[in-house]
Amino acid sequence: MHLRLSANLVFVSDVDASKSFYRDILGMRLIAERPHYTEYQLEDQTFLVEEKNAIRAPGFDDVRVGGRTGIIFSVSDVRHAVEELRAKGVRIAVEPVEQPWGWNAAFSDADGNEFILEEGS
């Protein structure tokens, strides 16, 4: 078996309202739209945003909207990125902190889905 990561997925309460965050604030390119679903491109990665909805397969009714996602975005300067996000009205969940491996922070969308910012190349 050969596995490869296909995409990242986050659930929101209103997919139409989330477009302004993912497309306009984070700068992801909207590449597909369907009811309850949007698909974005961020460099060579696919990022899916789906509205929690009743038409999904069994088991998806238990998905969580809000909280730490485990999705990490890399930026060249975490402290600068946090200030840019804050200026755009984005909630900063964790202020920049220096870890043994470098600087990181966390921010969230309107539903409280939290993403980690990591300083990298």
Q: Kindly state whether residues 22 and 44 are assigned to the same domain.
A: yes
Residue 4 pLDDT: 80
Q: What are the mean pLDDT values of the chain's consecutive 10-residue runs (121 residues total)?
A: 85 94 96 94 93 76 85 95 97 96 95 93 59
Q: Kindly state whether residues 108 and 70 are assigned to the same domain.
A: yes
3-state helix, strand, coil in the chain (%, to 5): 20, 45, 35
Residue 121 pLDDT: 59
- What are the tokens at 61? 């009714």
* Domains of the chain: total: 2
d(CA 83, CA 55): 39
Residue 46 pLDDT: 94
Q: Kindly state whether residues 15 and 41 are assigned to the same domain.
A: yes
Residue 57 pLDDT: 72
Residue 12 in domain: yes
Residue 54 pLDDT: 72
Residue 71 in domain: yes
Q: Which residues contact 45 (CB under 8 A, 6 or more apart)?
A: 7, 8
Bridge-based pairing of strands 113-119 and 102-108 is antiparallel
Q: Kindly state whether residues 34 and 70 are assigned to the same domain.
A: no
Q: At 113, which CATH number?
A: 3.10.180.10
